[in-house]
Amino acid sequence: MSLSIQDNTSVYRLLNTMQQLEVQRSMTLARLSTGLRINRASDNPAGLIAVKMLESELSSVHAALDNNQRTQSMLSVASGALAEVSSLLADIQQLSLASIGDTLSVSEKAANQAQVDSAIASIDRILGGTTFNGRNIFGGANQIAATLSMADAADLKDVRIYSCNPGQANTVLTVNVTAAATKATTAGTSIANVTSALTADTVLTVAGKDGTATITIASGSTLDQMISMLNQSTGVTGVSASKSGTELVMTSIDYGSEAFVSVAALSGDASLVGTAQTGKLTGDDATVTVNGQNARTSGTEIYYNGNGISFTANLADNTTGTRTITVVGGGATFQLGTDASTRSTIGLNGMNSFSLGRADLGYLSSLKSGGAASLTTDPQQAVTIVRKAITQVATESARLGGFIKYEVGSSINNLGVQQENLSSAVGMIRDADMAQEIVKLERINLLTQTTMALLSLVNNDKKTLVSLLR
């Protein structure tokens, strides 16, 4: 290769290398200082688009997780209130059972009634004061509304909508009752034809849905006295006594296949010991369809869950035929996912002492002093009402618990996995490999030093050539 003073190709080549190394050095230092592989769009245009899309999804997941956690908090507050109400109802039931019969004095029953009044007041205070973020949970604002005609409302009582499809209003439910519910009864079966006073102390065992009682009826008792004695145990057994002419008739308080009557005369009056024996006599559940689908029934109560709608209702006695419910909408709607299709609505019905119970039985408020089912007026009916209230609160608690576990809890778990995977995907595209960048910087520094040394060598070569001309 010839030596030339004018030819600067080697210098330009080395300078260009220096410039490229400086650009690489600048990019590497930027990655090391920010920890990011993509600091501007020119670093990786396609990667930047992917990162922005993934970050948008990740932001939605974060928001959805926040929504779910708030939802869980709200429903946990509601669940805690219902747990306390359940405890108070259990106390009321105990006091009501204790007040049946003549074992307590008037003052003792009055003391029990005072406790019941306080417990009911506490229930109303708890349900009325259970709020979340300033909103009363059980005040009725979170219930799903339904409308019925006046005629249908007389036969379909206590309609409670528990869930519906979000945004789906004015859904019509056609309720067709093809067979009415019946009670368990001994009517039609001669168990005791009492035409005269009992000739001996008689021991009867009466069993029903709520329990079993062994009752001793004194010798000389008439049919009416016998009925009065048997009815003192109605709150224990769920079976009431009446008469048809001279026949003793035992009938369950409740309707349906779960209600039953069983009577056995163990000893005493010979006319009863021989005849007052029954097997387990049961009632019948109503037969109901809703929009052509079979609904589950228990006595007169309807339980339906289908096509995104869940509701319960209670049929009036002997109701048959078609009735219509229009689900207007409402309820508490929660955003459980990252788009509009992941909303879920639950009905949190307004609850207080005037709604706990059932129309045909009475409501919890009637257990207060002076009420139709107070402990001094009708303690047996008080037991029936409070048992229904306990069932209602337990059902509401179970629905809340199921929603928290299977709707909210599952959503939180799924969103947590999404958050982890999306964050990992963003990091793989966006984040710099610090070890790799440090190695790259060392390499650039070494090449820069080498290039500078070569530039110095080229300059020395030219100086040597010039010195030869002197």
Query: What domains lie within the chain, and their CATH numbers?
Result: 184-282 (3.30.70)
Quick one: average pLDDT of 58-83?
A: 93
Cα distances (Å, whole numbers) of residue 345 to 331, 411, 434, 470: 6, 14, 48, 98
pLDDT of residue 455: 77
User: Confidence class of residue 89 from pLDDT cuts 50, 70 and 90?
Assistant: very high
Q: Does position 95 have pLDDT exceeding 90, yes or no?
A: yes
pLDDT of residue 6: 53
Q: Does position 1 have pLDDT exceeding 50, yes or no?
A: no
Determine which of 48-57, 75-84, 272-281, 421-430 has the lowest per-residue pLDDT on average: 272-281
SS3 47: helix
Q: Does position 280 have pLDDT exceeding 90, yes or no?
A: no
DSSP tally for the chain: helices H, then strands E: 10, 22
Q: Which helix (H) or strand (E) holds 318?
A: none
Q: Which helix (H) or strand (E) holds 445?
A: helix 434-468
Quick one: average pLDDT of 388-400?
A: 92
For residues 38 and 162, give the distance between their C-alpha atoms in angstroms, rounded to a whole number. Answer: 50
Query: Which two three-digit tokens encode residue 310?
Result: 């869940």
Q: In whole numbers, what is the pLDDT of the chain averaged over residues?
A: 87
Locus of tokens 């506490």: 122
Q: Does position 424 have pLDDT exceeding 90, yes or no?
A: no
Radius of gyration over alpha carbons of the chain, in Å? 41
Quick one: average pLDDT of 413-423?
A: 91
For the stretch 157-211, pLDDT in tens is: 999 998 888 767 789 999 999 999 999 998 877 777 888 888 899 889 999 998 9
Within 13 Å, how many C-alpha atoms sit on residue 121's CB side?
A: 8
- 156-181: buried (b, 16+ CB within 10 Å) or exposed (e) per residue? bbbbbbbbbebeeeebebebbbeebb
- The percent of residues in the chain predicted with pLDDT above 90, rounded, is 49
Quick one: average pLDDT of 66-88?
A: 94
Q: What are phi and psi of 157, to 5 degrees?
A: -110, 160
pLDDT of residue 468: 54
For the stretch 4-45, pLDDT in tens is: 555 567 777 877 888 888 887 877 787 777 777 777 777 778
pLDDT of residue 386: 95
pLDDT of residue 274: 64
Q: What are phi and psi of 72, to 5 degrees?
A: -60, -40
Quick one: average pLDDT of 265-280?
A: 76
Quick one: average pLDDT of 353-381?
A: 92
pLDDT of residue 277: 65
pLDDT of residue 176: 97
Q: With the C-alpha atoms ordered 15, 21, 24, 26, is the resulting torsion angle positive or negative? A: negative
Please, where are the H alpha helices in 289-433?
Answer: 379-402, 410-430
pLDDT of residue 154: 93
Q: Which helix (H) or strand (E) holds 228?
A: helix 223-231
Quick one: average pLDDT of 389-408?
A: 92
Q: Is 144 exposed, middle or buried (0-12, 13-18, 19+ CB in 10 A)?
A: buried
pLDDT of residue 4: 53
Cα distances (Å, whole numbers) of residue 157 to 151, 176, 182, 295, 458: 11, 15, 17, 16, 103
For residues 193 and 244, give the distance between their C-alpha atoms in angstroms, rounded to a whole number. Answer: 9
Determine which of 212-221, 330-339, 366-375 has the lowest per-residue pLDDT on average: 330-339
The residue with greater pLDDT, 444 or 261, is 261
Q: Which helix (H) or strand (E) holds 464?
A: helix 434-468
For residues 148 and 160, give the distance between their C-alpha atoms in angstroms, rounded to a whole number. Answer: 12
- 63-96: buried (b, 16+ CB within 10 Å) or exposed (e) per residue? ebbebbeebbebbeebbebbeebbebbeebbebb
For the stretch 318-345, pLDDT in tens is: 999 999 999 988 888 888 888 878 888 8
Among the listed residues 213, 180, 204, 179, the one whose alpha carbon sits nearest the alpha carbon of residue 100: 213
